[in-house]
Amino acid sequence: MIKFLDLQKINNQYRDELVQAATRVIDSGWFLLGEELTQFEEDYAKYCGTKYALGVANGLDALRLIFKAYIEMGLMSRGDEVIVPANTYIASILAVTDNGLLPVLVEPRLDSYNLDASLIEVAITSKTRAVLTVHLYGQNSIDDQMLEICQKHNLFLVEDNAQAQGGVWKGKLTGGIGDAAGHSFYPGKNLGALGDAGAVTTNDKELYQTVKALRNYGSHKKYENIYQGLNSRLDEIQAAFLNVKLKYLPKEIEKRREIAEQYLKGITNPLVVLPLVPDPQQHVWHLFVIRNNNRLKLQQILLESGVQTLIHYPIPPHKQGAYSNFNENHYPITEQIHREVLSLPMSPVLTDKEVQEVIQLINKFKG
Ligand SMILES: *Cc1c(COP(=O)(O)O)cnc(C)c1O
C-alpha cells in the first residue's frame, strides 16, 4: 500500500530526538509558556523572516486571534468585511465569522487554485478591511497586483499560511509577506507537531502584543485581564517537538519538490490536469493536486492498485450546512475545482519507486 501520508514513517526519522525532547519537558515540570516555546518562537520568526512569532493552540486559533486583535486594536469592528477565496478550507472562513466579521467569497484562478487578484477590487465595499489570502496546497498566493490593491484601499493583507511554510516570493517567505499570518502545525501539515499547534507571525509590534495577551486569557500579567481573551497556548511538549522538526523542514521541502518534479514530468495522460507552477520556489507542495472529470473512478482504480489518494476538498464552504446563508450562491470555478480535484500521495518519505508506480497507474487511466 502506498499511503497518502505516512506520519509514522515521517516522525520515525526523528524518533530519538523526539523522545529526548519529550523527556526534557517531562523532567522539567514546566508545561506551558516556557523555554521550549520561547526557543520555537525565536527560531520560527527567524525562519519566516518576521520580527515576531507567537505559538498558539492551532491554525484556526492563529487566524481567529489575528482578527480578534485587530478588533481590540480598534482597526476593525463587527460587521466589517474580509475578502476570502471561495475554495479555501473552511477554517479560514470560520476565523472571520467567529469574530463577527463578514466573509466575502471571491473566486480563485483555475490554474493556480489561489485567489484571483483581478477579482478583488469589484468585491471591495466601504466595509472591507482585509484580504485573507490562502496559500492553498502549498503555493504562494500573493502577487504585485494583490499588494497594490491592499495598499490602494488601505486593507490588511492576512496570510493563511497553514499549508505553505517555506514558500518564497521575491526573496520573502510566505508568512512574512503580508501584515500578519496564521500558521498550522497540525500533524499532517508540512511542519507537523505530534498533536495540535499553530502560530501567528507579524512585523507589527502592537498586533504581536495584543495577540500575546489574547492567547492567554487577555492577560499580560497574571490575574490582570485587559481583554476578553482565549486560552490558546502552544504546549511546551509540542514546542519541543517542533524545535526538532523545524531543523529538518528545509530538507523535507526539497524532497517534496523532487517528488513534485517527478510527477510533473512523468504524468503525461491528457485526461489529467497537472498543477501549474510558474516559479518552483513559490511552491512547497503540501499537496500535489491533479484534476480529472471522473476523479472518483480514478481514485477507485488507484485504490484497487494499492495507492491511497484524498480529495481536498469535496464540498466547498458555501455549500456547507455551517454556511447556509451562502448555499444559494454560485461560484462556478470553485465548484469545478471541488468536483475535479484529487490529491496524490505526497510526503518526504515517499520513495522514487512509489512515485513511479503512481505515475504509471495514472498514465494508464482511460477515463
Ligand atoms: C489546516 C488548515 C487550517 C487550520 O489549521 P488547524 O491547525 O487544523 O486548526 C487553516 N487553513 C488552512 C488552509 C488549513 O489547511
Closest by CA to 342, choosing from 274, 278, 282, 276, is 274
DSSP 109: P
Are 343 and 291 spatial neighbours (Cβ–Cβ below 8 Å)? no
Q: Which residue has the cell 516556557?
A: 34
Atom of ligand 1 nearest to the CA of 198: 7
**CA–CA separation, 69 and 63 (whole Å):** 10
How sure is the predictor about 172, in pLDDT bands with cuts at 50, 70 and 90? Answer: very high
- Whether the pLDDT of residue 60 is over 90: the answer is yes
Closest by CA to 350, choosing from 301, 299, 309, is 309
- Whether ligand 1 lies within 6 angstroms of the CB of 186 is answered as yes
For residues 233-251, give the mean pLDDT.
Answer: 98
Q: For 103, list phi and psi in degrees, rounded to 5.
A: -75, 135
Mutate to test the pocket of ligand 1, among 56, 163, 183, 191 (most ligand atoms within 8 A of CB): 163
**CA–CA separation, 288 and 92 (whole Å):** 20
How sure is the predictor about 174, in pLDDT bands with cuts at 50, 70 and 90? Answer: very high
- Whether the pLDDT of residue 238 is over 90: the answer is yes
- Whether ligand 1 lies within 6 angstroms of the CB of 87 is answered as no
Mutate to test the pocket of ligand 1, among 60, 114, 343 (most ligand atoms within 8 A of CB): 60
Distances in whole angstroms, Cα of residue 367 to Cα of each of 288, 297, 323? 20, 8, 34
Question: Which of the following is catalytic: 68, 189, 212, 245?
Answer: 189
pLDDT digits (tens, 9 = 90+) for 29-52: 999 999 999 999 999 999 999 999
Mutate to test the pocket of ligand 1, among 160, 287, 341 (most ligand atoms within 8 A of CB): 160
For residues 316-339, give the mean pLDDT.
Answer: 98
- Whether the pLDDT of residue 337 is over 90: the answer is yes
CA of 226 to the centre of ligand 1 (A): 28
What pLDDT does 263 receive?
98
**CA–CA separation, 133 and 322 (whole Å):** 21
How sure is the predictor about 176, in pLDDT bands with cuts at 50, 70 and 90? Answer: very high
What pLDDT does 144 receive?
98
- Whether the pLDDT of residue 309 is over 90: the answer is yes
What pLDDT does 277 receive?
85
Q: Where are the beta strands (DSSP E) in the chain?
A: 52-56, 81-85, 102-106, 128-134, 156-160, 168-169, 172-173, 180-184, 198-202, 219-221, 224-225, 288-291, 341-344
The overall average pLDDT reported for the chain is: 98
What pLDDT does 227 receive?
97
Are 96 and 66 spatial neighbours (Cβ–Cβ below 8 Å)? no
221 labelled catalytic: no
**CA–CA separation, 318 and 322 (whole Å):** 9
Atom of ligand 1 nearest to the CA of 185: 7
CA of 365 to the centre of ligand 1 (A): 32
Atom of ligand 1 nearest to the CA of 60: 9
Beta pairing class for 156-160 and 128-134 = parallel
Regarding pTM above 0.85, the answer is yes
Q: Which three cell numbers stand for residue 281?
A: 520556489
Torsion angle in degrees (nearest 10) through CA of 326, 331, 334, 338: 70
- Whether ligand 1 lies within 6 angstroms of the CB of 202 is answered as no
Q: Which three cell numbers stand for residue 157?
A: 493583507
**CA–CA separation, 100 and 96 (whole Å):** 7
**CA–CA separation, 28 and 38 (whole Å):** 15
pLDDT digits (tens, 9 = 90+) for 139-170: 999 999 999 999 999 999 999 999 999 999 99
- Whether the pLDDT of residue 278 is over 90: the answer is no
